[in-house]
Amino acid sequence: MAGHEIDERGFLSGPHTTERPRATSTAVYTAYFDAPPGRVFAFCTSREGLEGSMPDGVRVLSWPEQGFAEGETMVLRWRLAGVLPVRWVGVIDSFEDGEHFTDLQLRGMFRYFRHTHSVAPDGTGTAYTDRVEFASLLGPLVDRTVLRFVMDRMFLQRLALMRELVESGR
């Protein structure tokens, strides 16, 4: 893992795991950006872009030392409901410069969490897609209902903020 320690823990940070359970849920979110794919991809792989498009309170504790590349890790921290400390440790498990990358949770709140970020030319702009495959410790029924509702809200807000930041040139 590129020399990074992955034992960053918070109250809800769970054990180290990358094993995909039999039952997972998938959510796909796509938005159009009036910007070239290169700008959108550069935004997504920058620390400023990540921090700027995350909900308030999310902090980057460790950023990939060599930039985004397979095997690099990152650590994020936030407080669930403003109180319970959560640390998320992820590894970039696939990376194709200018096209897509995937981060895989090593430690975090989920039993399994794999997030693919993709950009593709679309007319004069870019189609950006988040594909999230996840499983919680609460089971598939909760994943498909309660957690999916929460994730839909979070990712749609994130995409709107990303669009605003990318299109304004920030």
Match 């039952």 to its residue by tokens: 23
pLDDT tens string 57-116? 788 888 888 788 999 999 988 777 677 778 889 999 999 999 999 999 998 888 899 999
Domain coverage including residue 75? 25-167
The answer to whether residue 12 sits within a structural domain is: no
Q: What is the pLDDT of residues 103-162, one digit of tens each?
A: 999 988 888 999 999 999 999 999 999 999 999 988 999 999 998 998 899 899 999 999
Q: Specify the CATH number for the domain of residue 128.
A: 3.30.530.20
Q: What tokens appear for 168 in the block?
A: 């304004």
User: Which one, of 40, 26, 45, 49, lies nearest residue 122 by Cα?
Assistant: 40
Is residue 47 within 8 Å of 65, Cβ to Cβ?
Answer: no
DSSP of 89-148? EEEEEEEETTTEEEEEEEESSSSEEEEEEEEEEETTEEEEEEEEEEE-TT-HHHIIIIIH
Q: Which two tokens stand for residue 59?
A: 């902090």
Within a domain: 67: yes
Residue 9 within a domain? no
What residue type is 136 in one-letter code?
S
